[in-house]
Amino acid sequence: MSVASTGTRGHGVDGVEVRPAVGDDLSGVLSVGHRTWLATYEPLVGPEYVAMGLAKWWTSDVVAASIRKGRTIVAVDGDDVVGVATFGPQDDDFVLWKLYVLPDNHGNGVGSRLLDAVVERAVEGGHSRIVLSHIEGNAGAARFYARHGFTETHRESGGSDMPVSVWMERPLPSAEATGTEDAS
């Protein structure tokens, strides 16, 4: 069963829909990324890091490519994208690259639903674990991932003037065990 084929189309009780992103979501995804990055990282690591990250990971080209490859999931409230998650391979790993929910929507379960959708993809793909990193000092993210079963594996220096990345992993059950199979 894929995210797109869930009977409810990913609608929650609050009316927020979680679904794979399409081309028309591009500006909404960019807006979530830019607004949430600024609010999260400027106080934590400063404006230079925010400018670098937005220029590297949140350009139209990068975001459109991820949408085109089917590696972006959005949470949508009416016409508004309020949260986004992206995933993809790195070597043998399945990586959750981005998980961002607009600050006004934090604490409403949107991040948990986006994470669940990404985990479902990883299980469907037959992966034995999902990995991610967050910046050292991002206490909200650390708490969120710990509550969702992730444990730290190692820390990676970002180099001069760059934040340290905290890498985490969560083991996954096999697709047979969960009854989900990749139909594609």
Ligand X SMILES: CC(C)(COP(=O)(O)OP(=O)(O)OC[C@H]1O[C@@H](n2cnc3c(N)ncnc32)[C@H](O)[C@@H]1OP(=O)(O)O)[C@@H](O)C(=O)NCCC(=O)NCCS
The contact set with ligand X (CB under 6 A) reads 36, 40, 99-101, 106-112, 134, 138, 140-141, 143-144, 147
Query: Between 55 and 181, whose beta carbon lies closer to ligand X?
Result: 55
Query: Between 96 and 172, whose beta carbon lies closer to ligand X?
Result: 96
**Token digits of residue 89:** 């391979």
In 3D, which of 117, 100, 138 has the Cα closest to residue 180? 117
Can you count the helices (H) and strands (E) in the chain? 6, 7
Instruction: In angstroms, give the least distance from the CB of 26 to ligand X.
Output: 19
Instruction: In angstroms, give the least distance from the CB of 70 to ligand X.
Output: 21
Instruction: In angstroms, give the least distance from the CB of 143 to ligand X.
Output: 4
Instruction: Classify the phi-psi angles of 10: left when phi > 0, otherwise alpha if psi is within -120 to 50, otherwise beta.
Output: left
* Percent composition of the chain: helix, strand, coil (DSSP 3-state, to 5): 40, 30, 30
Query: Between 111 and 163, whose beta carbon lies closer to ligand X?
Result: 111
Helix axes 26-45, 60-68, angle to 10 degrees: 120
Instruction: In angstroms, give the least distance from the CB of 107 to ligand X.
Output: 3
Query: Between 101 and 118, whose beta carbon lies closer to ligand X?
Result: 101
